[in-house]
Amino acid sequence: MTQSSRIAEITTPPRGERVITPDAIRRSWLSKEIGFAATGLADRGQAEMHLDENGIAYVDMNKSGRLNLEPGEKGLIVTSSLAGCTGVAGFAKRKDGSTAQFVSHYDAVSQTHHFTRKESPINSQMSGLRYEATRQDGELDGPIQLLVAYRESERANPLYRQRRGSFEEWTYLEQIEMTASELGADTEVLFLPYRDGDGNSLAAGRSDNSEGIYWNGVHVNFASY
């Protein structure tokens, strides 16, 4: 019998020293010369990313990217301006010291079956982290970690918890929660409801003094939840 994942919800945002500064993220965002990202037009694939001169791989809205780091290598995969969208970051460390991580950033329209006739692309990306981390005989060193950040008001959606039809037709937050629950006992998933504010940042990787997942530049300590 497969055991369910360990899941918790963050009631207050992670606090602590800001490891990643907004300026560092902004420099990488500007250097990509990203064009206009249209609402609802999403890239459902997950691109293999590479670090820029700032040590950051930047993921724009309605895209997803993955990054592999060698043992001891520093670098971050990052997205920003989360203000109503769903952001997911994943992190897994191998016993050889290398890491696999990804970040996804999608708006509500691109995940809603009514518009796309498909399920949220985040489901397959969450499930794919294990494959990415263990391919080529990689062996995990500790649990796989995932953080799902979503607009706080999604909990008030009148369709929430009203599962109608097939899995693809459920609200995307329901889909993500169901997928998270089935990832296995060696997976830790945190759900973080947020208020829009001025936009939020989400990252995964390794900085000078820490590794894992970062919310608004603060390292997320999964053990504290």
41-51 pLDDT per residue, tens: 788 899 999 99
What tokens were used for 80? Answer: 């920003």
Residue range of the domain that includes 75: 6-32+47-220
| Average per-residue pLDDT for the chain | 91
Confidence of residue 34 (pLDDT cuts 50, 70, 90): low
- Report if residue 178 sits inside a domain: yes
How far apart CA 111 and CA 119 sit, in angstroms, is 6
Domain count, the chain: 1
* pLDDT of 12 above 80: yes
d(CA 91, CA 68): 10
Q: Residues near 224 by Cβ (< 8 Å), separated by ≥ 6?
A: none
pLDDT at 155: 86
Q: Please compute the mean of the pLDDT values over residues 148-168 and round it to a whole number.
A: 87
Q: Which residues contact 166 (CB under 8 A, 6 or more apart)?
A: none
Considering the chain, what percentage of its residues have pLDDT values greater than 70? 95
| 38 domain-assigned | no
Mean pLDDT of 217-223: 95
Distances (CA, A) of 106 to 20, 87, 91, 149: 22, 7, 18, 11
Instruction: Look at residue 81 and tell me if it is in a domain.
Output: yes
Range among 27-31, 160-164, 221-225 with highest mean pLDDT value: 221-225
So what's the pLDDT on residue 1?
Answer: 47
Rounded to two decimals, what is the model's pTM?
Answer: 0.93
Let me know if residue 57 belongs to a domain.
yes
List of E strands, the chain: 6-9, 47-48, 56-58, 63-69, 75-82, 86-93, 99-106, 144-151, 187-194, 200-206, 211-215, 218-219
The dihedral through the CA atoms of 128, 130, 132, 137 has a sign that is: negative
Question: Can you state the angle between helices 172-181 and 122-134, rounded to 10 degrees?
Answer: 30
Whole-number pLDDT of residue 211: 98
Give the per-residue pLDDT at 33: 62
Instruction: Tell me, yes or no, whether 54 lies in a domain.
Output: yes
